[in-house]
Amino acid sequence: MTPSPPSLRVSELAYAYPDGTQALFGVDLTIGSGERVALLGPNGAGKTTLVMHLNGILTAGHGLVEVAGLPVRKDTLKEIRRRVGLVFQDPDDQLFMPTVREDVAFGPANLGMRGPELERRVRDALEQVGLPEVIDRPPHHLSFGQRRRVAVATVLAMRPEILVLDEPSSNLDPASRRELAEVLRSLDVTVLMVTHDLPYAMELCERSLILSGGVIAADGPTREILADPALLAAHRLELPYGFAVAERPH
Partner 1 sequence: MGAGHHHQLYRPGVTLVHRLPPECKLPAVAAFAVVVVATPREVFWAFGVYVLLLAAVAAVARVPAAFVLRRMVIEVPFVLFAVALPIIGLGARFEVLGLSLSAEGLWAAWNILAKATLGVVASILLAATTEPRMMLLGAQRLRLPQLLVQIAMFMLRYMDVILDEMRRMRVARESRGFAARDVRHLPVLAKSAGALFIRSYERGERVHLAMLSRGYTGSMPVVHEGGASVASWATAALLPAAALATAALSWSLS
User: What Cα–Cα distance (Å) separates residue 109 from each residue in 56, 88, 92, 113, 117?
Assistant: 20, 20, 20, 5, 10
Measured CA to CA, the distance from residue 162 to residue 54 in angstroms comes to 10
DSSP string, 126-151: HHHTT-GGGTTS-GGGS-HHHHHHHH
- 141, 183, 224 from 177: Cα distances, Å: 19, 10, 24
Looking at the Cβ atoms of 84 and 225, the one nearer to partner 1 is: 84
Task: Please report how close the Cβ of residue 199 comes to partner 1 at its closest, in angstroms.
Answer: 27
In angstroms, the CA 45 to CA 48 distance is 8
Q: How many CB atoms lie within 10 A of CB 152?
A: 24
Q: How far is the CB of 10 from partner 1 (least distance, A)?
A: 17
In this complex, which beta carbon is closest to partner 1, that of residue 102 or of residue 238?
102
Least Å distance between CB 52 and partner 1?
8
75 or 93: CB nearest partner 1? 93
Which spans of this chain sit near partner 1 (rule: CB under 8 A)? 52, 55, 57, 78, 81-82, 84, 86, 88, 90, 92-94, 96-99, 102, 105-107, 109-111, 114, 118, 138-141, 154-155, 158
Nearer to partner 1, 36 or 81 (CB): 81
CB of 120 to partner 1, least distance (A): 14
